[in-house]
Chain A
């Protein structure tokens, strides 16, 4: 079945540091891939998405590239801010999974000033 594995947290960085959160997936079909962000006490928000191999999703300085050969969708940001402190979820959706989205366990990011 489909699954998503992302690096365990928490990840603690200083402001302006480079961020990478690793995400790998297994899927029987051709999935769309997503990153969501959850700020404390709130629901999840879509951060970026990619729908086919080699697509790059980007938003608010975050980027992730759909790598079919390594089945990965790592999240990166060149310079994090304190306001980026949140939990980040990698997710996939494909037709073989029906209407369900498979979420990773989430990675908590703390950014120190």
Chain B
């Protein structure tokens, strides 16, 4: 069966520090991969998605970036965090169009 792992679960970072969140999927090949952010009590904001290695689509211009160095690995990064980057970050995968998405457990990021 397929599983998705996200880490870390919780992260506290100072303003201006770098960020790296990692997501890996097991049990499937060539998944579509997604990064979302969820502000407290709010809905989901799609940040990036990828349909293959090295292919990244950005939905919202900001100081975040994403990379997909391997088929089942998706990384969210920032060179310099802002206070507004605080939130709950969720990684997800799907098999393709019209297919459901499967989510990781999320990373709660607090910026001080």
Contacts and interface: CB of A to CB of B under 8 A. Distances in A.
Interface of A: 31-32, 34, 36, 41-46, 49, 51, 89, 93-95, 98-101, 103-106, 108
A31 B98 contact: yes
A67 B57 CA distance: 32
B104 A43 contact: yes
Interface string B29-70: 000100000000111101001010000000000000000000
Contacts of A100: 46, 49
A46 B96 contact: no
Nearest to A104: B43
A37 to B, nearest CB: 11
Interface string B9-47: 000000000000000000000001000000001111010
A99 B103 contact: no
A43 B90 contact: yes
A93 B98 contact: yes
Interface of B: 6, 32, 41-44, 46, 49, 51, 90, 92, 94, 96-106, 108
A90 to B, nearest CB: 11
Nearest to A51: B98
B90 to A, nearest CB: 5
A46 B96 CA distance: 15
A95 B97 CA distance: 6
Nearest to B101: A101
B98 A95 contact: yes
A94 B99 CA distance: 9
A43 B98 contact: no
A105 B96 contact: no
A86 B20 CA distance: 29
B103 A44 contact: yes
Given A46-B102, A93-B99, A93-B100, 15 more contacts: A34-B100, A42-B105, A43-B90, A43-B106, A44-B90, A44-B101, A49-B100, A95-B98, A98-B97, A99-B94, A100-B49, A104-B43, A105-B43, A106-B43, A108-B41
